[in-house]
A and B are shown apart, each in its own frame.
Chain A
């Protein structure tokens, strides 16, 4: 009980210190310098809450894969197309803090249990029934460095050691002292948030470089979606990130690691909204093949396909819209109507099989994957409008206005109307309303090309017995089916621009500021010149000093502009 009260006190005090913070633009300074467009004017530094995957990865990295979290995360917020930007706009609610605190206690309890303590704690106390300054400092210093992505300050470490010693003496248990300090560190804002701290002195233009550990953290989260590892922290301590050669060496090392794939997966999961598949539901009567397991497979299929193009093949990003190659499980094979054989034993996890659709098959590219088709469909039907909107917004970063209020959707939603048997017929009637026609004109021709795929992505030739017309057009380019749409997407400059803007925003944690336009343009030129290779683009961003500059410290969320000006 005493331990609990002490823990609560420490944790609550820390919780009270949490601040909302996030991105912003130093508007005044930008306005003053923007006369010269060639001058790089960075945006503000950003403080972001760790995403669930980042939290999980950090715990796994520091304590090993057998330590479980024992709690739930607050919902994430998508902003300007990315959760990574939303992370700069969120705080922690009191309920969320309770969850963090519960997780911190659960994790700390596992770390000190007999199964883990000898593996995770690098020393043994002289007497396990009381405090041990040296061992406590060694453990808390080591683990604090890994959790915060920087060495603890003398004061921070001293406070933690004193707190743990007090608890150890009071409870007559060294490990209970460790539990207390570790739990408080896991619930502290230093761990739960990533703050981009700046160097004290500005450069000659008046802009600030990130402080070395913040730089290492930005790099590591960008490439691995995780806090810096020991090697990166050591390189940071040695000042290696301050010079281009040292930075390049670390970028090369991180990109050569298998964990680079984890980083890229996190980015594409965010960009394509694949996290939403975790909670997607379908009408089980209409789509009996759908279940949560196949939704997870659908997400993995798209990630494997994208990884194959951009990472394994180091190919042209735009090929993701035209590739007939993918990876399937038996369950996905059942949705796609193709045979998938594997050797997994009954009850064992399904194996993935490489699969290539036939040349004349309309199922090419990731927009013909179940992940896209099902995610952008209501639970009981397909929706050319939702799909078209997603193609514009998710794949081409174009903004589609929200529908006006008080619009009648009945005709569009009634798939059993004998007068309008296909989605095209229903939408044609709906679009006679001039208020609706403007937007439908730009989204429906794209979505209708995917009408050969039902609400889960299964292939079909007819709807209500009527042959489906999948013709459409994108920016004046006409096509007859999904394969044609994929080719048009591949050839549209918007898709390459979109991944460029999303990747830069993902790394920055905010949209590029006005003064960063030229920098992004230059990155785009390099991206195009290099054959739209995402690897090269990532490297270009990660090794560019501009990526690590800020106009000033982050500003509170309420001071941030509501609407962004970039990323059209």
Chain B
């Protein structure tokens, strides 16, 4: 075991957003009433019928009729079909996407400033940042926000899943975590759910056991440089999450940068290429409720498909993965891989293992 080990339980998970007033051309995508009206008309619904449905939608009446019309707004061979499961049955509503300069993430493809589609990271000022997920989603109202002002969509997702899914654990090990040098960074899933404080945030210094399931076990070699930890090997990252959020978070060519705050909490940006079909069906899974918080679900399908930038399908040539960056926050925790082995995040002045069980 390394001389020092610091462990955390994840306290926040969200797409890394960097919203600016002018980063969407001509403003953000319209509200749902306008969007629904457009899409219903685009599949051939009579204008008066559309007006009636939107009236009901806005007055929160005839919910069954509204829900059915919106859910089954797809058309296949002239018949209504579920538009969430079959987004191609709705014409592309051509939602807007981010055209601004800045976005969090990593230079995944190595092209750097030569990449015309890339962002500049507002934290590191690094150019050539690949985060097409932010580009795709960043003009939908529910996805707009920052690392401080959390996007509504992700806030809703996290509030829903945080107390009912096994917690995510992060461990950093190295000779001296206060100095530059090599480290090992591990991501695991806990057997226990996160324990919250009164305010809902994760309680610090709680002990979690590691779930031995290899599907959520990730070990990366990395380094600390100028107080920032990064991974130096860019393997694939896989964590089981929650069907309400992302059932399984897969990030290929995994990147990370992590800092520790003065209050002992940790913050990180993680990124990589994510299979966008997984992501789409996570959005579609919530149906209408997801549309209310995120925008047109079929529209998101077209956005993701359009902005996907990696791993082309050998047969079709279309990209199956999209560059992405996520923001995580975590608080110190103790992690037990087995009863006799407890890695800790000691409180100030305490020895890591404290005493004996």
Structural contact, A338 and B206, CB atoms closer than 8 A: no
| Residues from chain A with Cβ under 8 Å of B344 in the complex | 339
Structural contact, B207 and A339, CB atoms closer than 8 A: yes
Interface presence of B350 (CB below 8 A): yes
Structural contact, A334 and B354, CB atoms closer than 8 A: no
Contact with B along A468-492 (1 / 0, CB 8 A): 0000000000000000000000000
A57 to B24, CA, bound (A): 69
The total number of A-B Cβ pairs within 8 Å is 92
Q: Most chain-B CB neighbours within 10 Å: which of A290, A339, A347, A361?
A: A339
A459 to B346, CA, bound (A): 11
> Nearest chain B CB to A164's CB is how many angstroms away?
51
Structural contact, B207 and A330, CB atoms closer than 8 A: yes
Interface presence of A73 (CB below 8 A): no
User: Which of B204, B205, B206, B351 makes the CB contact (< 8 A) with A358?
Assistant: B351
> Nearest chain A CB to B159's CB is how many angstroms away?
17
A333 to B334, CA, bound (A): 10
Contact with B along A340-382 (1 / 0, CB 8 A): 1100001100000111111001000000000000000000000
Interface residues in A440-488 (C-beta closer than 8 Å to B): 458-462
A460 to B348, CA, bound (A): 7
| Residues from chain A with Cβ under 8 Å of B351 in the complex | 358, 361
Structural contact, B347 and A288, CB atoms closer than 8 A: no
Structural contact, A458 and B201, CB atoms closer than 8 A: no
Interface presence of A276 (CB below 8 A): no
Identify the stretch in B56-64, B192-200, B224-232, B246-254 within 8 Å (CB) of chain A at 4 or more residues: B192-200
Interface of B is mostly: loop
Structural contact, B209 and A337, CB atoms closer than 8 A: no
Interface residues in A297-345 (C-beta closer than 8 Å to B): 324, 330-331, 333-341
A339 to B344, CA, bound (A): 7
> Nearest chain A CB to B263's CB is how many angstroms away?
11
Interface presence of A284 (CB below 8 A): yes
A179 to B133, CA, bound (A): 70
Interface presence of B355 (CB below 8 A): yes
User: Which of A346, A460, A461 makes the CB contact (< 8 A) with B192?
Assistant: A346
Structural contact, A334 and B192, CB atoms closer than 8 A: no
Interface presence of B353 (CB below 8 A): yes
Q: Would A339 and B350 be within 8 Å (CB), given that A288-B197, A288-B199, A330-B195 are in contact?
A: no
Interface presence of B78 (CB below 8 A): no
A354 to B339, CA, bound (A): 13
Structural contact, A340 and B201, CB atoms closer than 8 A: no
Interface presence of A558 (CB below 8 A): no
Interface presence of B48 (CB below 8 A): no
Structural contact, B355 and A341, CB atoms closer than 8 A: no
Interface residues in A390-406 (C-beta closer than 8 Å to B): none
Interface size class of A (residues with CB under 8 A): 20 to 34
Q: Would A357 and B354 be within 8 Å (CB), given that A337-B205, A341-B207, A458-B347 are in contact?
A: yes
A289 to B193, CA, bound (A): 16
Interface presence of B349 (CB below 8 A): yes
A288 to B196, CA, bound (A): 9
Interface presence of B261 (CB below 8 A): no
Structural contact, B197 and A289, CB atoms closer than 8 A: yes
Interface size class of B (residues with CB under 8 A): 20 to 34
Q: Would A288 and B201 be within 8 Å (CB), given that A337-B347, A339-B334, A357-B354 are in contact?
A: yes
| Residues from chain B with Cβ under 8 Å of A335 in the complex | 205
Q: Would A333 and B347 be within 8 Å (CB), given that A339-B353, A361-B354 are in contact?
A: no
| Residues from chain B with Cβ under 8 Å of A458 in the complex | 347
Structural contact, A459 and B356, CB atoms closer than 8 A: no
A357 to B86, CA, bound (A): 60
> Nearest chain B CB to A65's CB is how many angstroms away?
29
| Residues from chain B with Cβ under 8 Å of A361 in the complex | 350-351, 354-355
Interface presence of B342 (CB below 8 A): yes
Structural contact, B350 and A289, CB atoms closer than 8 A: no
Interface presence of A291 (CB below 8 A): yes
User: Which of B193, B336, B348 makes the CB contact (< 8 A) with A341?
Assistant: B336
| Residues from chain A with Cβ under 8 Å of B41 in the complex | none
Q: Would A341 and B357 be within 8 Å (CB), given that A331-B206, A334-B203 are in contact?
A: yes
| Residues from chain A with Cβ under 8 Å of B356 in the complex | 355-356, 358
Structural contact, B347 and A459, CB atoms closer than 8 A: yes
> Nearest chain A CB to B333's CB is how many angstroms away?
9
Structural contact, B342 and A339, CB atoms closer than 8 A: yes
Structural contact, A291 and B350, CB atoms closer than 8 A: no
User: Which of A290, A347, A355 makes the CB contact (< 8 A) with B357?
Assistant: A355
A337 to B346, CA, bound (A): 6
Structural contact, A333 and B355, CB atoms closer than 8 A: no
| Residues from chain A with Cβ under 8 Å of B203 in the complex | 288-289, 331, 334
> Nearest chain B CB to A491's CB is how many angstroms away?
24
Interface residues in B89-131 (C-beta closer than 8 Å to A): none
Structural contact, A333 and B192, CB atoms closer than 8 A: no
| Residues from chain B with Cβ under 8 Å of A284 in the complex | 197-199
| Residues from chain A with Cβ under 8 Å of B201 in the complex | 288
**Which B positions have Cβ atoms within 8 angstroms of A?**
166, 191-193, 195, 197-199, 201, 203-207, 209, 334, 336, 339, 342, 344, 346-351, 353-357
A-B contact pairs, 30 of them (CB 8 A): A288-B198, A288-B199, A289-B203, A289-B204, A324-B355, A330-B195, A331-B195, A331-B203, A331-B206, A333-B205, A333-B207, A334-B203, A334-B205, A337-B346, A337-B347, A337-B350, A338-B354, A338-B355, A339-B207, A339-B344, A341-B207, A341-B339, A354-B357, A355-B355, A356-B355, A357-B354, A361-B350, A361-B351, A460-B349, A462-B348
**Which A positions have Cβ atoms within 8 angstroms of B?**
284, 288-291, 324, 330-331, 333-341, 346-347, 353-358, 361, 458-462
Among all A-B residue pairs, the 4 with the closest Cβ atoms: A337-B347, A338-B354, A339-B334, A288-B197
